[in-house]
């Protein structure tokens, strides 16, 4: 029986993927390295350490991950100002979950600084969630189940009674490995790559009724 919903953030609630990619490209350019958007695709949803570090490794360069990540977040905060919006249906879906009496957690692989920028710029309140878990709260990032296990625990729920809402392949793998049911939002990758999810929707405007009734 569903008792809680565990939300990924980027690509699920916030249309931020293109901005963090642009910010990372700009950061690499400052280092004299020209990288491409497609270089980041294998690392979507895994947190910025892997998102940035994986591309650095691909190009054979050594970076101080905390320094380059901080610089990327500085650029990100500047370029999203006034530009970030909640994804279609996000606010209404959160409200629907709350009205059903479900416990809600935000479980993002991003660091807290990025999560706070996203909430501020989109107008989504942290108070909508009983718990917030970021990439800084777990050692192993998605596709490891740790973040969703911790999110369920923070809500005092069994993972098997939780629905994970994700857009990334790594996130779906993490949710399933945690023992949760998964709703995939097809905002970042094609549907065929999300086949491990229990349900797939085009956006949170079109969530199958069964996803909240089991």
54: burial class by Cβ within 10 Å (0-12, 13-18, 19+)? middle
Let me know if 39 is a catalytic residue.
no
Say if residue 179 is preceded by a cis peptide, omega within 30 of 0.
Answer: no
CA distances in angstroms from 188 to 88, 89, 168, listed in the order given? 14, 16, 7
> What is the DSSP track for 91-150?
HHHHHHHHHTT-EEEEE-SS-HHHHHHHHHHHT--GGG-SEEE-GGG-SSPTTSSHHHHH
Let me know if 127 is a catalytic residue.
no
Catalogue the active-site residues: 8, 10
């Amino acid at each position: 029986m569903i008792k809680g919903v565990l939300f990924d953030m980027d690509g699920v609630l916030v249309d931020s993927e293109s901005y963090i990619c642009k910010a990372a490209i700009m950061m690499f350019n400052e280092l004299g390295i020209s990288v491409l958007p497609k270089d980041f695709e294998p690392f979507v949803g895994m947190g910025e350490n892997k998102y940035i570090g994986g591309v650095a490794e691909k190009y054979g360069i050594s970076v101080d991950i905390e320094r380059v990540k901080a610089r990327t977040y500085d650029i990100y905060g500047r370029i999203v100002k006034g530009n970030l919006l909640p994804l279609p249906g996000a606010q209404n879906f959160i409200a629907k979950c709350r009205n059903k009496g479900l416990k809600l957690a935000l479980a993002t692989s991003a660091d807290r600084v990025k999560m706070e920028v996203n909430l501020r710029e989109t107008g989504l309140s942290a108070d909508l969630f009983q718990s917030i878990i970021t990439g800084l709260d777990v050692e192993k990032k998605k596709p490891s189940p740790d973040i969703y296990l911790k999110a369920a625990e923070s809500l005092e729920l069994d993972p098997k009674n939780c629905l994970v809402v994700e857009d990334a392949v790594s996130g779906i793998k993490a949710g399933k490995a945690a023992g949760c049911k998964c709703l995939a939002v097809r905002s970042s990758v094609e549907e065929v790559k999300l086949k491990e999810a229990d349900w797939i929707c085009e956006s949170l405007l079109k969530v199958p009724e069964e996803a909240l009734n089991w």
